[in-house]
Amino acid sequence: MKNIVVLGSTGSIGTKTLEVISRLSEQFRIVGLSCDSNIELLIKQIEIFKPDVAAVKEKTKFDILKKRINRTNTKLFSGLEGIIRVATYEESDIVVVAIAGSSALMPLLEVIKLSKKVALANKESLVMAGELITSLMRETNSQIIPIDSEHSAIFQCLDSSVTKGIKKLIITGSGGPLDGILRRNFQKIKPEDALNHPKWKMGKKISIDSATLMNKGLEVIEAHWLFGMNAKNIEVLIHPEAVVHSMVEFVDGSIIAQLGLTDMTLPIQYALTYPQRLPSHNGYLDLAKVKTLTFKKPDFKKFPCLNLAYEALSRGGTAPCVLNGANEELVYAFLNGKISLPDIPRHIERVLNSHRIKKEPNIDEILQADRFARNRVRELLK
């Protein structure tokens, strides 16, 4: 029996994780849950799973949470410090980090310090502080198993004994909801259009990133840190069927791919049970029904966010952190109707160009770079 903490348990990945654990209740027990502000769902989850600890980040919701579940034995916490208390709960064996955005960084760092196994479903933390995180992982001998379907696919394709002979990593993406729309019409795109992903049901922020292909850019940076590959050896391919989740090409010309249904329960289950594999409860891929698999190179002019991510990775230091902070602020501005979709890459480029990069940044410099990016975006939007 493994004890599991799920950070971000009310989000799309968090709820899927609880779905997987419910089916594997003889192997896993929930000991900790956390959410940003959705206490209604968190209360239901606490009633079902009866964790030892739980936290809500938004402190204004804490009193309501406390009153609603005062008859349980679950210890409750609030704020970022509360999330960290849950993340570092001593009884846990695996911590699932499913918090969206930059908010995952500090809890993730604290978990790594304890040498716990991490199932990571957050790109932004590695984008912001990949160098710091990987260095800390080496010091503490901790392990990250990726949950993102693309990075889980690469992880599954790579034999742990293989240290040489990899030519490149190939990250696939469906192309998102705007792949078939002409670039000149992007100015007219509304939030509801960009949120309408053809293959995956996700949260709003990641859905907009998928529409701009920033999601693929963040995945390139994440793959760089997870697998130690240079940017020039990480390729993105558009694959509308979303059946091949990613591939690895070796120097002898062989390509190994991971295929599966467009269902996040597969990489979640694999991250929890690794290195074991257990039967699927959600069906199996029928290649005869798929029939055709197509691939094409992304249009960097149509989707400049992808190119900006490559540029930030090549600049190094705090540049990816600034890219991420600016993007988060601009995505929310777009969702709130303050800017158009093409304004997102336009302003990100301006923010990046105005930033003085710090090489080998410590945590204070990373957080400072994040604040710079967000404040600069707010200045531009004025």
* Count of domains for the chain: 2
Compute the Cα dihedral for 58, 208, 32, 103 and give only its sign.
negative
pLDDT at 30: 98
pLDDT at 241: 95
**240 falls within a domain:** no
**115 falls within a domain:** yes
Backbone angles phi, psi at 270, to 5 degrees: -65, -40
CATH number at residue 11: 3.40.50.720
Show the tokens assigned to 22: 């419910």
**277 falls within a domain:** no
**DSSP category for residue 296:** B
pLDDT at 351: 98
- β-bridge mates for residue 35, sequence order: 56
Q: Are strands 234-238 and 166-173 parallel, antiparallel or unpaired?
A: parallel
CATH number at residue 363: 1.10.1740.10
pLDDT at 7: 98
Domain span holding position 326 = 184-189+304-382
User: Which uninterrupted H or E stretch holds 4?
Assistant: strand 2-7
Q: Which of 176, 124, 183 is nearest to 341 (CA)?
A: 183
pLDDT at 203: 83
pLDDT at 219: 97
pLDDT at 197: 85
**96 falls within a domain:** yes
pLDDT at 185: 94
If you search the block for the tokens 């992982």, which residue do you land on? 137
**358 falls within a domain:** yes
Buried b (16+ CB within 10 A) or exposed e, 241-266: bbbbbbbbbeeeeeeebbebbbbbbb
Inter-residue contact 225 to 218 (CB < 8 Å): no
pLDDT at 239: 97
**13 falls within a domain:** yes
| Torsion, Cα of 86, 368, 328, 32 (10° steps) | 0
Distance of CA 194 to the CA centre of its chain: 19
**179 falls within a domain:** no
**229 falls within a domain:** no
User: Which uninterrupted H or E stretch holds 167?
Assistant: strand 166-173
Show the tokens assigned to 129: 């502080």
Q: Are strands 244-250 and 234-238 parallel, antiparallel or unpaired?
A: unpaired
pLDDT at 252: 94
Inter-residue contact 248 to 166 (CB < 8 Å): yes
108/131 Cα distance (integer angstroms):
14
Instruction: Give per-10-residue mean pLDDT for the chain (382 aa).
Output: 97 96 96 97 96 97 90 92 98 97 96 96 96 96 95 89 81 93 94 88 89 97 96 97 96 95 95 94 92 96 97 98 98 97 98 97 98 98 93
